[in-house]
Amino acid sequence: MSLTSEEKDNLLKIIEIIYGYDSQFESYKNDFNESTVLVVEKAITALIQCNDNMKTLVSGILGGSGFIAKGWLKKVIRALSKELKKNKIKFNGLACRSVAAGNWRSAIIISTY
């Protein structure tokens, strides 16, 4: 199953929250797919484990669920994109963001092939 244009746009917005604007990610947007969603989901899950603000936000969107099952991002991609943009979530520390960014950047790009 491929992503809609809107899902690709929202996924790019979510990626930009983690990495900031990056023309390389934007150039891959049309190639975003289910694999990209899964990799970004793993990156966000890593951030959630490191960051209380992200945990609170995602748990709230998922209806207070403390357990995040595989495939959650595809279900809430629009809502998460809007909330991240609206709330301008700030990660607790540079360490969380740097680790997640460093560990998942290449995987996100490779997922588009």
Does residue 96 surpass a pLDDT of 60? yes
Cβ-based neighbour number of residue 80 at 10 Å: 24
Residues 6+ apart with CB under 8 A from 84: 13, 14, 17, 57
Does residue 92 surpass a pLDDT of 90? no
Express each pLDDT in 73-88 by its tens digit: 787 788 877 777 765 5
Express each pLDDT in 30-75 by its tens digit: 999 999 999 998 888 887 777 666 666 666 776 655 556 677 778 7
Q: Is pTM, for the whole model, over 0.95?
A: no
CA–CA separation, 79 and 101 (whole Å): 22
Contact 38, 107 (CB under 8 A): no
C-alpha distances out from residue 83 to 2, 53, 59, 111, Å:
24, 12, 12, 25
Contact 25, 108 (CB under 8 A): yes
The pLDDT of 89-94, averaged and rounded, is 57
